[in-house]
Amino acid sequence: MRASPRRSPGNWARLPRRSHNRRPRRCAGPDPVIDTPKRAACDAPALTTPSPELPQGRTRLRLFARVLAGLRNSFLTGIVVIAPVGLTVWLIWTVVGWVDGFVWPFIPEPYLPNNLLNRILGLEGEDRIEVNVRGLGVVVFLVFTVLVGWVAKGIIGRSFIAVGENLVGRLPVVRSVYNGVKQIAETIFAQTETSFEKACLVEYPRKGIWAVGFISTQTRGEVREKGHGADMLSVFVPTTPNPTSGFLLFFPKEDVIELDMTIEDAAKLVISAGLVHPGEKDTMPEVLEHEAERLAHKAREAHRRENEDA
């Protein structure tokens, strides 16, 4: 190794003076004249591990997706709450207007609400006021229906009905329409008989698949005779979610399983497509929220499986 020369006081004068404004080195190293390689190693920038930073864009997207999902669930819940009320009010308002439009032409003009009110107040000409009394036709229709029913229960009313049905029975087309409408009206508005007896379970459309049905009556007449005299039940199996349509089926009594639930609970089960069960709180917003959470969980699981496969 080459020895460094001995420095004398004269040599110190030849060395350049350090400037006070010179940028200091990052670390204290050996003399720059004596050991240059060590200086290079010292001046080299230190390797530092970059601090992990959160992906701000992805975090904002996830937050936005959560807010959007919450708004969607709230919107669907609001629709479920508002739709039944709104449709009910709209249906009642429409029916009342239709009945008013049908009944008002039969009301004498002096007894119309506008004319009667102006006559009572003594208003004529330009001083007359116009009042839209919605629902008056419904009141008149109800009163008229009660009077007709009261007369029909008496002997005179029954005689008139018998004569009228005898005349209608002689008309081919009118007879079929009248008998069909009369049978439907008697079935719907009958006070002495019930529509269905009990709710039940039957194997339909094949063995191993069960459907909710309503027991109508026990079979009688030709159906019972052709069924080898066995005890059979007529069962109405409704469709979902519209229970007004369905299938009339005849089952042996031993193949029908009667349920303890009421007819109303069974109808709720059919209309809600199995979402509302008897004994549970059947509020549709909670049902919809539970269903939305289930679908969201199912979607997350499917997305996770796709990522694992990729």
Domain with CATH 2.30.30 in the chain: 198-289
C-alpha 81/C-alpha 244 separation (Å) is 23
pLDDT one-digit tens code per residue, 257-287: 999 888 888 888 888 888 887 765 444 555 5
Exposed (0-12), middle (13-18) or buried (19+): which is 269, by Cβ within 10 Å?
buried
pLDDT one-digit tens code per residue, 211-247: 999 998 888 778 877 776 678 889 999 998 888 789 9
pLDDT one-digit tens code per residue, 46-56: 444 444 455 67
Return the residue matching tokens 């997706």: 65
* Alpha helices for the chain (secondary structure H): 9-14, 36-43, 56-103, 113-121, 136-152, 155-168, 172-188, 222-226, 263-271, 284-309
Q: Between the ranges 16-20, 91-95, 290-294, where is the mean pLDDT highest? A: 91-95
Class of domain 198-289: mainly beta
The reported pLDDT for the residue numbered 123 is 76
Exposed (0-12), middle (13-18) or buried (19+): which is 266, by Cβ within 10 Å?
buried
pLDDT one-digit tens code per residue, 57-111: 678 888 888 888 889 888 988 888 898 889 899 999 898 888 888 888 888 877 7
* Alpha helices for 189-234 (secondary structure H): 222-226
Give pTM, 2 decimals: 0.42
Residues with Cβ within 8 Å of 91's Cβ and at least 6 positions away in sequence, in order, are none
Q: Compute CA distances 143 → 95, 109, 117, whole Å.
A: 17, 19, 21
